[in-house]
Amino acid sequence: MATLLQLVAGDPALLAAVRRSRQVLHRRALAGAAAGVVPVPGLEWLVDAALLSRLIPAINAEFGLTPEQIDRLPKRKREQVEKAVGVVGSMVIGKFITRDLVIKSAAALGKRMTMRRAAKVVPFAGQALSALIGYLAIRYLGEEHIRDCVAVCRQAHLKLPPPAGGAGASARR
């Protein structure tokens, strides 16, 4: 399997979007890790769900793949993007992020999250382990989503929005 940087294949706009997305991902994963330290049962699930519900749209926006950005594309380009999303198999690209979508995404990490909850029982070291597992879980989901966004952009030959936020940008090529 190709690395993310190999998928970018020298495209400076994609590389910049990956870097910006990873910065957002790192900050959100750290926030998830902080929730792992707090010894309140179930808090980490709530924090993770909230983080993912904001993280996924932020990454989508970096790649011009929010529902609004896709709706502004010409019909032919929109169909290319939708076809690429189907090929990649992402549940969250170009979709409004709902609680159900976040739960489906997090369900893939169920075993890690169970270990995270069990680790909290052990004083101090368990909380640190829980924080680490939380960071890695969010990081994993985010990296996979970034990979999916890159694959969709490459397959659909999508021009990325400018880095200033992307919402008002034209995402046509």
Cα distance between residue 19 and residue 8, in whole Å? 11
4 CB-near residues (< 8 Å, 6+ apart): 18, 143, 146, 147, 150
Cβ contact 60:154 at 8 Å: no
Higher pLDDT pick, 2 / 169: 2
Cβ contact 50:163 at 8 Å: no
Cα distance between residue 128 and residue 34, in whole Å? 9
Confidence of residue 171 (pLDDT cuts 50, 70, 90): very low
| Model pTM score | 0.77
Domain boundaries, the chain: 10-156
pLDDT of 1 strictly over 80: no
Each residue's pLDDT tens digit, 18-63: 999 999 999 999 988 887 777 666 677 777 778 888 999 999 999 9
Cβ contact 49:99 at 8 Å: yes
Average pLDDT over residues 140-159: 92
Grouping H, G, I as helix, E, B as strand and the rest as coil, residue 144 is: helix
Q: Which pLDDT value is given to residue 66? A: 92
Cα distance between residue 165 and residue 134, in whole Å? 27
Cα distance between residue 156 and residue 71, in whole Å? 15
Each residue's pLDDT tens digit, 86-136: 888 877 787 766 666 666 666 655 555 555 555 555 566 667 777 788 888
Q: Which pLDDT value is given to residue 117? A: 55
End-to-end CA distance of the chain: 28
Taking all residues of the chain, what is their mean pLDDT, rounded to a whole number?
79
Each residue's pLDDT tens digit, 58-82: 999 999 999 999 999 999 999 999 9
